[in-house]
Amino acid sequence: MKTVKPKKFLGQHFLKDLQIAQDIADTVDACPGLPILEVGPGMGVMTQFLVRKERPLKVVEIDFESVAYLRENFPQLEDHIIEDDFLKMHLEHTFGGQPFVLTGNYPYNISSQIFFKMLDYKDLIPCCTGMIQKEVAERIAAEPGSKTYGILSVLIQAWYHVEYLFTVHEHVFNPPPKVKSAVIRMTRNATTDLGCDERLFKQVVKTTFNQRRKVLRNSIRPVLADADNKLRQQGLAPREHTAFLETEIFGRRPEQLSVDDFVRLTRAMTEETRPAGMS
pLDDT of 201 reads 97
CATH superfamily of the domain spanning 8-188: Vaccinia Virus protein VP39 (3.40.50.150)
pLDDT digits (tens, 9 = 90+) for 231-244: 999 999 999 999 99
Contacts for 219 with CB less than 8 Å, ≥ 6 apart: 207, 208, 210, 211, 212, 254
In 31-108, where does DSSP find H-type helix? 47-50, 64-73
Beta strands at 160-168 and 101-104: parallel, antiparallel or unpaired: unpaired
Which DSSP helix (H) or strand (E) runs through 161? strand 160-168
Residue ranges of the domains in the chain? 8-188, 198-272
pLDDT of 279 reads 56
Nearest to 93 by CA among 145, 35, 47: 35
pLDDT in 10s for each residue of the chain, 279 residues: 467 776 677 666 778 999 999 999 999 999 999 999 999 999 999 999 999 999 999 999 999 999 999 999 999 998 999 999 999 999 999 999 999 999 999 988 899 999 999 999 999 999 999 999 999 999 999 999 999 999 999 999 999 999 999 999 999 988 777 889 999 999 999 999 999 999 999 999 999 999 999 999 999 999 999 999 999 999 999 999 999 999 999 999 999 999 999 999 999 999 999 887 665
pLDDT of 106 reads 94
Nearest to 111 by CA among 135, 93, 132: 132
Instruction: Please state which of the four CATH numbers 1.20.58.1690, 3.40.640.10, 1.10.8.100, 3.90.1150.10 is assigned to the domain occupying 198-272.
Output: 1.10.8.100
pLDDT of 152 reads 97
pLDDT digits (tens, 9 = 90+) for 19-38: 999 999 999 999 999 999 99
Measure the CA–CA gap between 3 and 234, rounded to whole angstroms: 61
φ and ψ at residue 274, rounded to 5 degrees: -75, 160
